[in-house]
Amino acid sequence: MARIFVTRRIPGAAVERLAALHAVDVWDGALPPAPEVLRERAQGCEALLTMLSDRVDDELLDAAPELKVIANYAVGSDNVDLAACAERGVAVGVTPDALTEATADLAFALILAAARNLIAGHDAVRAGEWRTWEPAGWLGHDVHGATLALIGPGRIGEAVARRAAGFDMEILRVGRHEDLHAALARADVISLHCPLTEATRGLIDAAALAVCKPTAILVNTARGAVVDQGALRDALQSGRLAAAGLDVTDPEPLPPEHPLLTAPNLLVLPHVGSATHTARARMADMAAANIDAGLAGEALPHPAA
Ligand code: DGY
């Protein structure tokens, strides 16, 4: 029987299954445990089931020398110091695939909502500002037939491409070796799907936004820090960019007084790309499978890259 700490209550039955075999401690708070609390609860544990809001760093790993496996409840692993884990022989697992379609659905919802001004229209109705059918009111941009640049065309990017095919969109796939600025200059819709690495931090900066069409829409369901948020605010404020839909920000949560929120034509969601009942339960199953394998000293079925 191993000791496992789960840093939040998660949907699905996977944690119950783990608890039938192991001593499982689940953090019951409405907010993540503070780093010092996480270190304390991790002491003596052989496995941790962590969220993207937990930092897995040297300090945590030093506090829990028995650790064999970290199962991160996310497809991303940018909250985990992978090199520090590798040095200590701690395996790190993630939850790919489980959330691909849910995140692609959300990216498409953001594309449509940002392009067609859905939030402004909805707010106007609720505020009693809808007085008549407006020939020039709440105008947006066509999604059908538009050119879509997928920045980081991996699993989720390809799932967005499948949806875009139904809208007759032209797809530009921009991987590490393609010319980002050339694609941005052609795109009507830009959707970000790259992991956060040192190479992609601030990838969409002032220079990148400067080459975008002023009618372009930017959607981010990847990681907030891929976008230079100051540059994004300026681009939206000056009309250099038509609209943006963000599911991810830096920091998370974004404080209500954050300057980014003063920008016009901006829709921000609280990082809900994978937030469907099915996706979150499947992510839990994958995290549990990673823990089972890690505790058994086997290769993880879903290792972090
Ligand atoms: C992930 O898994 O990395 C997502 O951003 C969370 O849904």
Q: How does the average pLDDT of the chain come out, rounded? A: 97
The whole-angstrom separation of Cα 94 and Cα 72 is: 5
Cβ contact 294:288 at 8 Å:
no
Provide the CATH topology of domain 100-268. Answer: Rossmann fold (3.40.50)
pLDDT 10s digits, 130-168: 999 999 999 999 999 999 999 998 999 999 999 999 999
Predicted confidence (pLDDT) per residue in 69-81, tens digit: 999 999 999 999 9
Q: What is the mean pLDDT of residues 40-62?
A: 98
Per-residue pLDDT for 305 more than 90?
Answer: no
Q: What is the DSSP code (8-state) at residue 278?
A: H
The reply to whether ligand 1 has any atom less than 6 angstroms from the CB of 52 is: yes
For ligand 1, whether the C-beta of 74 sits within 6 Å is: yes
Distance 274 CA to ligand 1 centre (A): 6
Residue whose pair of structure tokens reads 């609390």 in the numeric block:
37
Q: Would you call 29 helix, strand, or coil by DSSP?
A: coil
Question: Is 176 among the catalytic positions?
Answer: no
Strand locations in the chain (E): 3-6, 23-26, 47-50, 69-72, 91-93, 147-151, 170-174, 189-192, 217-220, 243-246, 266-268
State in Å: Cα 82 to ligand 1 middle. 17
| Alpha-carbon separation of residue 18 from 14, 162, 243, 276, 284 (angstroms) | 6, 36, 44, 22, 11
Type of residue numbered 44: G
Name the catalytic one among 22, 116, 223, 280.
223
Q: CA 49 to CA 239: how far, in whole Å? A: 43
Question: For residue 236, what pLDDT band results from cuts at 50, 70 and 90?
Answer: very high
Q: What is the pTM of this model?
A: 0.94
Catalytic (active site) residue 271:
yes
For CATH 3.40.50.720, the residue range(s) in the chain are 3-98+277-295, 100-268
* Residue nearest ligand 1's atom 2 by CA: 74
Ligand 1: does its nearest atom lie under 6 Å from the Cβ of 274? yes
Pair 249, 260: CB distance under 8 Å? yes
Rounded Cα gap, residues 11 and 152, in angstroms: 29
Site to probe by mutation for ligand 1, drawn from 51, 75, 194, 248 as the one with most ligand atoms within 8 Å of Cβ, is: 75
| Token pair belonging to 202 | 């601030």
CATH fold for the domain made of 3-98+277-295: Rossmann fold (3.40.50)
